[in-house]
Structure 1
Amino acid sequence: MYAEEIHDYLKSFFKETDCEVLHDEGHLLTVQLTIDIDKKIMNRPFYWQYIEATNSTPNPARLTLITNRTKVDNPLMGEVIHFGSGRLNQIFKATKELGSFVKMYQQVSNETGKQQTLTPYFCVNYKVSYYCDQTKEKLYSLGINLMNGEIEDNFHEFVSQLNLAPYQPDGSFCLQYIIKPTRALERLDVMIQSIIQNDDHSWAEEAKKRWIKEQEVLDYFYVGVEEKPESYQIEKKGLEERFNPRIKVEIINGGLFYIK
């Protein structure tokens, strides 16, 4: 499920940034990057400095990303990408830089001559990161109907199947939303907090158990030492930073979608 979400997200990202998708197997994606996207996600500042200084012909990278390595015989065919991977975080960062909010319209035909009514939805894509000595990240896409307040999960997966464009199609009418976007964001924030609260938090308890064991080992080396040295306090603080469970919620991007 998560691998599919990542794959769909990558396809949408490269499509919106005009990067040509050369090969798509559903678990492996090969794309020809544009100059701008190469600069944002490939970590080649010295290469681009040289190209610009010498006025040489640029050669943006061709990238092959494996979103589900269990379906690939040879993992060396490309770069494995997953939640928490550096490349995916770079793409998230590029998404924020290029535009954190979009306004899109479903392109509906008007062959019958009847006016097509489009309903407003407010969407937010969240990244939830679970931190301890191990890291787990999840991506949630929530959309709320601004007319009746119904919330749809997996909203990105839904709208990615639609024909969308940044302009209102001819012969269509956009309903004026009843729920304001600011209020919609508040409701989606409550929803994501509820999802987190109802999630399995056994990982946090397991991290605390490992923390206690590591603390016991540290204390063993200082048995009988009444006044602990600075090195002990530093190591103790390091264990806390490493094992203390914590959760971080980030908004990747969002948008207002008018759909049929």
Structure 2
Amino acid sequence: MAINHLHDFLQSYFTAHHCTIVHQEEGALTVQLTEDMDRALMNRPFYWHYIKKMGYAGDPKQLTLITDPDKRDGKNEWIHYGSPRLHQIVNHLHEHEKYTKLYERIDTNQKTALYPWLVTNIKISYQGKQKKDEMVSIGLHLVNGAMKVKMMAILQEKSLHNAISDYCFTISPMIKLHSGFKRIENVLESYVQDQDHDWAEASRKKMAEEIDLLRHFYKGEGNEQDMKKEIDDIQKRYSPRITFEVINGGIFYLQDHQ
């Protein structure tokens, strides 16, 4: 499931940044980068400096990302939770586009209402003996309270713009943002509680083994302060915990036929 979430996230990310999807299949995605995205992701500052100095247009690269480990071929780039490339993409979103407000483009000659959706892309981190991240995209209708998962996949099918279309008007939210975020948080907490938590028990078991081994090592040494410090380090490293991090989001005004 995490692989599918990652594939959807990447597809939405590159589409939102005006990159062309050249080819995609389950577990693999090839995109044609724009100049801006090549500059942001491909680490070629000297190339672009030279090209612009010479007055040329430049040649942004194509990038093929593999999200299914069974499809790794040694030629294209395997991207996964925790990989440097995914960290780079997430940091790019943090730095440039954490929050936004966009309107669905409607071609109409009669008055049309657009309804507000609170959309958030959230990273769930499961940390303990091992670390696993999962991307979740949730949309909340701020008038009737309807909620949708994989909201970025829905938005990807729409034409979104910074300015509202002619003849369109917005409906005021009935649900305040603070309350909306709380609803999304409650859904995420329920989702996490329903997961298999064997990983947490394995983390606690490993933590107990490490502490027992440490106590055995310090037995008779009399250096309680050093032992306590190392036990604290082990507990920080292995104590199971789950955190939520909002990667980006915004308010999207959409026609009410979602």
Listed as ranges, the matches of 1:1-260 within 5 Å are: 1-42=1-42, 44=43, 47-48=44-45, 52=49, 55=53, 60-70=60-70, 72=71, 74-110=72-108, 114-228=110-224, 230=226, 232-233=227-228, 235-260=230-255
Percent of pairs with identical residues: 32
Q: CA deviation at 1:126?
A: 0.9
Distance 1:61 1:242, change over 3 A: farther
Q: Output one character per residue of 1:51-75: Cα deviation in whole Å (capped at 9) or x when no partner.
A: 63894676654321002233x2x52
Q: How many residue pairs align between the two structures?
A: 252
Which moves more between the two structures, 201-210 or 177-186? 177-186
Distance 1:117 1:33, change over 3 A: same
Counterpart Cα distance in 2 of 1:34 and 1:180? 37
Q: Is the 8 A contact 1:35 1:60 kept in 2?
A: yes
Which moves more between the two structures, 50-59 or 93-102? 50-59
Counterpart Cα distance in 1 of 2:153 and 2:141? 16
Q: Is the 8 A contact 2:117 2:254 kept in 1?
A: yes
Q: Which runs of 5+ in 1 are unaligned?
A: none
Which moves more between the two structures, 26-35 or 212-221? 26-35
Q: CA deviation at 1:10?
A: 1.3
Q: CA deviation at 1:105?
A: 2.3
SS in 2 for 1:75: coil
Q: CA deviation at 1:34?
A: 3.6
Counterpart Cα distance in 1 of 2:179 and 2:218? 55
Q: Which runs of 5+ in 2 are unaligned?
A: none
Q: Is the 8 A contact 1:5 1:157 kept in 2?
A: no
Q: Is the 8 A contact 1:122 1:144 kept in 2?
A: yes
Q: Is the 8 A contact 1:69 1:75 kept in 2?
A: no
Q: TM-score, normalised by structure 2?
A: 0.83
Q: CA deviation at 1:94?
A: 0.6
Distance 1:217 1:17, change over 3 A: same
Q: CA deviation at 1:182?
A: 3.4
Amino acid at match of 2:254: I
Distance 1:178 1:227, change over 3 A: closer
Amino acid at match of 2:68: N
Q: CA deviation at 1:128?
A: 1.0
Distance 1:92 1:80, change over 3 A: same
Counterpart Cα distance in 2 of 1:14 and 1:81? 14
